[in-house]
Amino acid sequence: MSQAVRVTDLLAAARAASGFMPDDEGRALYEAARDVPVPGPLLEVGSWMGKSALYLAAAARETGRRVVTVDHHRGSEEHQPGWEYHDPSLVDPAVGRIDTLPRFRRTIAEAGAEDVVVAVVARSETLAPLWSTPLALLFLDGSHTEESARRDQDAWVAKLAVGGTLAIHDVFPDPADGGQAPYGVYRRVLASGEFEELPDTGSLRLLRRTT
C-alpha cells in the first residue's frame, strides 16, 4: 500500500471517528501539521477518543514524525455526570469514573496508526516538567475551564520551537457561540508578541512562533 493511500485512509478514519472536530477544522489541523517547517514531534493536549489524533497521525505518517497525545482520559468537566456531554457508556463501573482510554486505543488501532501515535496517560501539567524536546506543533484542546486552559498554556507553549505552529481549538470570540477559555489563551498568546497569526478555519486558530 502506498504512503498516499495510507494517509488518505487515516483522514477517512478521522472523519468517521467519534469526536467534536468538524472535518474542515480537522483538515486544517492536518495541513498545519504536515506543513510545519521545523523538526520535532507533534503534541496534542486533550485527546478524548482519538479523532483529532488521527488528523495529526495522517500528517505524521506523511512527514515521518510522531504524535504524542497527553490526556488523563477521565473526561473534562462537561463530560461528568449531570453535564451536557456526559456519556454513561464511558463510565468504568469498577471505579465509577469516565475512562475514554479503551475507546481511544481502539480508534488508533483500527485506523492503523499505532506506529505514529504515542499515548501518554497523564495530566498535561504532570508531564510538562518532564518534557524537554522542542515541539514542531502544539495542539491545545484540553479542558475548557479558565483555570485548566491557563494551566495548559503555561505548561506547554514555551516548549514550542521557534518556527513551530500552535493550534488552539474551540476559539469563540462571541460568548454566545461557546466558552471563552480557549479564546483567552489565543488572546494572551497573541499579546506576547512571540507569535504571528496563520489563516484560521472555524473555531481552530493557528499561530506561528516567531521568537
Domains annotated for the chain, with CATH where assigned, are 3-209 (3.40.50.150)
**Active-site pick, 72, 79, 144, 169:** 144
Q: What are phi and psi of 28, to 5 degrees?
A: -65, -40
In the structure, what pLDDT confidence band is assigned to residue 1 with cuts at 50, 70 and 90? very low
pLDDT at 74 over 80: yes
Q: Once rounded to an integer, what is the mean pLDDT over residues 144-155?
A: 92
What is the rounded distance in angstroms from the CA atom of residue 139 to the CA atom of residue 132?
17
CB atoms within 10 A of CB 58: 30
Rounded to the nearest integer, the mean pLDDT of the chain is 92
Q: For residue range 38-58, list pLDDT tens digits in order.
A: 999 999 999 999 999 999 999
pTM of structure: 0.91
Find all residues with CB under 8 Å of 79, minimum gap 6, and list them. Answer: 85, 86, 87, 90, 98
pLDDT at 122 over 50: yes
Order the strands of the 204-209 sheet from edge to edge: 117-121, 67-71, 42-45, 135-140, 160-168, 204-209, 195-201
Q: For residue range 183-200, list pLDDT tens digits in order.
A: 999 999 999 999 999 999
Find all residues with CB under 8 Å of 5, minimum gap 6, and list them. Answer: none
Find all residues with CB under 8 Å of 65, minimum gap 6, and list them. Answer: 33, 40, 41, 42, 59, 116, 136
Output the CA torsion sign for 28, 198, 177, 78: positive
In the structure, what pLDDT confidence band is assigned to residue 98 with cuts at 50, 70 and 90? confident
> Is 144 an annotated catalytic residue?
yes
